[in-house]
């Protein structure tokens, strides 16, 4: 049997997509390799795999849309995989400028569908690839994951699963996500272990809000209210912070920044994907992200005055708005 390598996003949708794919393919984690990635890291991960993948292996990418800055490199790497007789499949629901045509042209099987989450894309199309039946568990998994990933929150498990995915950090994070994939593979959407993790996480989440709000910076630009905070490792999740900022400050754009220049954008009425794309990132109209270069002096001073980094993030967003509005 050929080896299966899956590169997926680090969030609930990426985890759900892997579990769904393995169930439909009749595979498990013992004969597969799962690698978690952010969009801006994807080209480096693919480059690291090029010499360690063999003819006949399959490479599957889930819930990852290339950034404008690394797309050309990824297409070049995909061509090398195909030339090595590696089969490539790509399942995604993000906005693509060319709908994946460049990758299709080198032989990658592309499945892009913006009507659902990535887990939904996998279930919809991988079931056809493997001529397999969509069972009741997969149907429930898609509903729960999409409710969280698409910000609909219309499934009772969505807020629970959304939170427990991020309960482990650092070196233990990937192991925890693999454990959740194993639970999904075994048809478990929830159990006592997950409940325990959730209770511990919620306590940390409440403390985290206070710390994050101390870094807040707000500014208006041509009637658009932008609010930014700086977040360190740990809870709460970016999407939860974003929802809080948008509601409490009646903001149009919420920016959740990190010391390394990573920034998440959230909105209820503004297409933040366009802002993220201008900054070299991507995502969805209401939830997107990018990674920018932060000057050393800003990074250094923000260790003592975190609001300085929040202010810098806001001004980078405003610079983007000046170009796209």
* Rounded Cα–Cα distance for residues 33 and 50 (Å): 14
pLDDT of 200: 85
pLDDT mean over 288-299: 93
Q: How many domains in the chain? A: 2
Q: With respect to residue 201, please indicate whether it lies within any of the assigned structural domains.
A: no
Domain boundary among 161, 190, 219: 190
Q: With respect to residue 270, please indicate whether it lies within any of the assigned structural domains.
A: yes
* Rounded Cα–Cα distance for residues 142 and 204 (Å): 28
pLDDT mean over 74-89: 97
Contacts of 205 by beta carbon, 8 Å cutoff, 6+ apart: 163, 235, 236, 240
pLDDT of 169: 78
Q: With respect to residue 257, please indicate whether it lies within any of the assigned structural domains.
A: yes
Determine whether 135 is exposed, middle or buried from the number of CB atoms within 10 Å of its CB (0-12, 13-18, 19+). Answer: middle
pLDDT over 80 (residue 298): yes
**Torsion region of 115: left, alpha or beta (phi above 0 gives left; psi -120 to 50 gives alpha):** alpha
Domain boundary among 190, 222, 237: 190
Same domain as 133, residue 252? no
* Rounded Cα–Cα distance for residues 237 and 169 (Å): 12
pLDDT over 80 (residue 226): yes
Q: What is the pLDDT of residues 267-285, one digit of tens each?
A: 988 999 999 999 988 888 8
pLDDT of 166: 83
Q: What is the pLDDT of residues 131-141, one digit of tens each?
A: 999 999 999 99
pLDDT of 130: 96
Q: What is the pLDDT of residues 42-66, one digit of tens each?
A: 999 999 999 889 999 999 999 999 8
pLDDT band at 175 (very low <50, low <70, confident <90, very high): very high
Residue carrying structure tokens 């707000």:
218
Q: What is the pLDDT of residues 151-173, one digit of tens each?
A: 888 999 999 999 999 888 777 99
pLDDT of 1: 61
Same domain as 158, residue 36? yes
Same domain as 220, residue 130? no
Dihedral in degrees, nearest 10, Cα atoms 173, 273, 315, 206: -40
* Rounded Cα–Cα distance for residues 137 and 145 (Å): 12
pLDDT over 90 (residue 293): yes
Domain containing 277: what range? Answer: 210-324
Same domain as 167, residue 251? no
Same domain as 73, residue 179? yes
pLDDT mean over 289-309: 93
Same domain as 176, residue 219? no
Same domain as 84, residue 223? no
* Rounded Cα–Cα distance for residues 253 and 40 (Å): 22
pLDDT of 283: 85
Same domain as 214, residue 174? no
Q: pLDDT over 70 for what percent of the chain?
A: 100
Q: With respect to residue 168, please indicate whether it lies within any of the assigned structural domains.
A: yes
* Rounded Cα–Cα distance for residues 206 and 235 (Å): 8
Q: With respect to residue 198, please indicate whether it lies within any of the assigned structural domains.
A: no
CATH code at position 114: 3.40.50
pLDDT over 70 (residue 319): yes
Measured from the Cβ of residue 297, the count of other Cβ atoms closer than 10 Å reads 9
pLDDT of 203: 82
Residue carrying structure tokens 């610079």:
319
Using CA of residue 240, residue 245, residue 250, residue 254, what is the dihedral sign? negative
* Rounded Cα–Cα distance for residues 150 and 113 (Å): 13
3-state secondary structure 75-130: HHHHHHHHHCCCEEEEEECCCCCCCCHHHHHCCCEEEECCCCCHHHHHHHHHHHHC
pLDDT of 284: 83
């Amino acid at each position: 049997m050929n080896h299966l390598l899956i590169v997926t996003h680090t969030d609930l949708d990426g985890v759900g997509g892997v579990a769904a794919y393995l169930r439909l393919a009749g595979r498990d984690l013992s004969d597969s390799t799962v690698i978690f990635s952010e969009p801006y890291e994807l080209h480096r991960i693919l480059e690291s795999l090029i010499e360690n993948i063999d003819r006949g292996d399959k490479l599957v990418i889930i819930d990852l849309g290339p950034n404008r800055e690394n797309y050309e490199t990824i297409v070049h790497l995909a061509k090398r995989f195909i030339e090595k007789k590696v089969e490539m499949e790509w399942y995604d629901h993000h906005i693509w400028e060319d709908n994946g045509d460049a990758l299709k042209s080198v032989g990658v099987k592309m499945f892009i569908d913006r009507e659902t989450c990535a887990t939904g894309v996998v279930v919809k199309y991988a079931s056809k690839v493997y001529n397999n039946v969509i069972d009741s568990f997969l149907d429930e998994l898609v509903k729960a994951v999409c409710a969280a990933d698409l910000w609909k929150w219309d499934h009772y498990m969505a807020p629970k699963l959304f939170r427990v995915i991020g309960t482990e950090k650092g070196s233990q994070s990937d192991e925890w996500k693999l454990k959740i994939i194993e639970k999904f593979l075994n048809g478990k959407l929830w159990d006592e272990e997950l409940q325990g993790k959730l209770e511990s996480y919620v306590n940390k989440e409440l403390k985290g809000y206070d710390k994050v709000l101390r870094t807040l910076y707000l500014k208006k630009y041509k009637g658009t209210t932008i609010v930014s905070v700086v977040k360190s490792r740990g809870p709460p999740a970016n999407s939860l912070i974003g929802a809080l900022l948008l509601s409490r400050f009646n903001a149009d754009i919420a920016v959740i920044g990190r010391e390394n220049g990573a920034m998440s954008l959230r909105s209820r009425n503004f297409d933040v994907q366009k802002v993220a794309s201008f900054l070299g990132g991507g995502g969805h109209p209401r939830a997107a992200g990018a990674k920018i270069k932060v000057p050393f002096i800003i990074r250094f001073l923000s260790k003592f005055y975190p609001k300085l980094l929040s202010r810098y993030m806001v001004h980078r967003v405003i610079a983007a708005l000046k170009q796209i509005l």
